[in-house]
């Protein structure tokens, strides 16, 4: 009788350990980190009348490819150009602005970049109206896809400015 009680106690203890382990694995597996891509606006100056927007990522870990779609009000602002940053100088890059009010940026490299608060590229916009004054452009990231150098998707979050 004593042996049965001990075996039952051990089974309950083992079951409790399995339950705790199972719970811990599923709880922590849902905490997936998403890289945050943001737009940082630099207002125009007298020497540079255009708006410069830096596209940054808070945490890059072997980031080797990206596709970002950024929209703006086509009546107020025009896309001028994009320029790679020092960190992404080895990347090939294309900025397509054929659709009014939208810029699609695609970048890729065989070797990824890593780091915190990495500047990926700079975009330039100018006022579409004759008077260059007024409010700064409202830009919104509508799509973001990131890829690591091992060709694995990196979760991405973003917001508008």
Residue-wise pLDDT tens digits, 54-101: 999 999 999 999 999 999 998 888 999 999 999 999 999 999 999 989
Q: Give the Cα separation of 77 and 139 in Å (integer).
A: 10
Q: Give the Cα separation of 134 and 125 in Å (integer).
A: 13
pTM: 0.73
pLDDT at 160 over 70: no
Strands (E), 22-101: 35-42, 51-71, 77-84, 92-96
Residue-wise pLDDT tens digits, 12-40: 665 555 555 455 545 444 445 678 998 88
Q: What's the mean per-residue pLDDT of the chain?
A: 82
Give me the residue spans of the domains in the chain. 1-31, 35-158
Two structure tokens written together for 87: 């960190």
Q: Are 123 and 19 in contact (CB under 8 A)?
A: no
User: Does domain 35-158 sit in CATH 2.60.40.290?
Assistant: no
Q: Please give the span between the terminal C-alpha atoms of the chain, in angstroms, as a whole number.
A: 72
Q: Are 66 and 107 in contact (CB under 8 A)?
A: yes
Q: Are 130 and 77 in contact (CB under 8 A)?
A: no
Q: Are 80 and 128 in contact (CB under 8 A)?
A: no
Q: What is the pLDDT of residue 35?
A: 87
């Amino acid at each position: 009788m004593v042996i049965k009680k001990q075996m039952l106690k051990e089974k309950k203890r083992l079951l409790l350990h399995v339950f705790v382990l199972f719970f811990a694995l599923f709880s922590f597996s849902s905490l997936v980190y998403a890289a945050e891509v943001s737009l940082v606006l630099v207002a125009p100056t007298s020497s540079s009348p255009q708006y410069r927007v830096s596209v940054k990522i808070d945490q890059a870990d072997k980031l080797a490819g990206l596709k970002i779609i950024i929209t703006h009000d086509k009546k107020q602002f025009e896309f001028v150009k994009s320029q790679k940053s020092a960190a992404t100088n080895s990347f090939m890059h294309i900025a397509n602005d054929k659709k009014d009010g939208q810029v699609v940026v695609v970048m890729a490299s065989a070797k990824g970049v890593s780091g915190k608060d990495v500047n990926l590229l700079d975009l330039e916009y100018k006022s579409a109206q004759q008077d260059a004054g007024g409010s700064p452009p409202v830009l919104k990231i509508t799509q973001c896809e990131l890829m690591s150098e091992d060709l694995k998707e990196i979760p991405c979050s973003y917001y508008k400015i």
